[in-house]
Chain A
Amino acid sequence: EDQVTQSPEALRLQEGESSSLNCSYTVSGLRGLFWYRQDPGKGPEFLFTLYSAGEEKEKERLKATLTKKESFLHITAPKPEDSATYLCAVQARGYNKLIFGAGTRLAVHP
């Protein structure tokens, strides 16, 4: 069965303290892996798409990487406005649906 596991469940950082979020996945043929950001009471907001092992994408303080079994979202020198829940999702070949993980709740304190 296709599934996504994210760790840690919650992460508290000081402003400027870099860290990484993990997304482990099992899927019967990966079509794509996606990172989303979700603020409280809002819909998820698309961040990155990764298609194959070794691929990396960057946007401001965020960098996403992919291996054959997991993806990492690296946050460099985070700011309080980076506080949110970060969701990882996979899409299997032949399907449109996304399978989401439970997310990592990130809190960045000044």
Chain B
Amino acid sequence: EPEVTQTPSHQVTQMGQEVILRCVPISNHLYFYWYRQILGQKVEFLVSFYNNEISEKSEIFDDQFSVERPDGSNFTLKIRSTKLEDSAMYFCASSENRDSTGELFFGEGSRLTVL
């Protein structure tokens, strides 16, 4: 069964460092997303990406965050200068088309710990 894969599974970084989280969405999906979940809290939307551009973003997704689809398969989230409050599980997700943007396939997540 096709799946969304994420790397790394866990990353520890120092405050102020840049972090790149990587994702390979399901190959025939058109919409890509990043969500995050701070420990013990709700899953929160960060950004959606369609047709090589951001289609929607949340207030959390400020200038410190960026997304990119550098080639035909990878989808990355970059945090330019990490803060303690960026510590969370980051989930990549994809959906097939415009009519199924709520039916997300999530990856296993990348746990980011900022010290």
Which A residues are closer than 8 A to B by beta carbons?
31-32, 34, 41-46, 49, 87, 89, 91, 95-103
Contact = CB atoms under 8 A, between A and B. Distances in A.
Interface string B40-69: 011111001000000110100000000000
B31 interface: yes
Nearest to B91: A43
A43 B92 CA distance: 9
Interface stretch (B11-19, B76-84, B97-105): B97-105
Contacts of B33: 96
Contact of B101 (A87, A96, A99, A103): A96
Interface residues of B, number: 24
B93 interface: yes
B86 interface: no
A96 B48 contact: yes
Contact of A96 (B42, B56, B91, B107): B56
B75 interface: no
B48 A97 contact: yes
B42 A97 contact: no
B10 to A, nearest CB: 10
A44 B58 contact: no
Contact of B102 (A34, A87, A103): A34
11 contacts: A34-B103, A41-B108, A43-B108, A46-B103, A87-B43, A89-B43, A95-B56, A96-B101, A98-B102, A101-B42, A102-B42
B102 A89 contact: yes
Contact of A100 (B4, B43, B101): B43
Given A34-B102, A97-B48, A43 B109 contact: yes
Contacts of A32: 102
Contacts of A100: 42-44
Contacts of A49: 102-103
A101 to B, nearest CB: 7
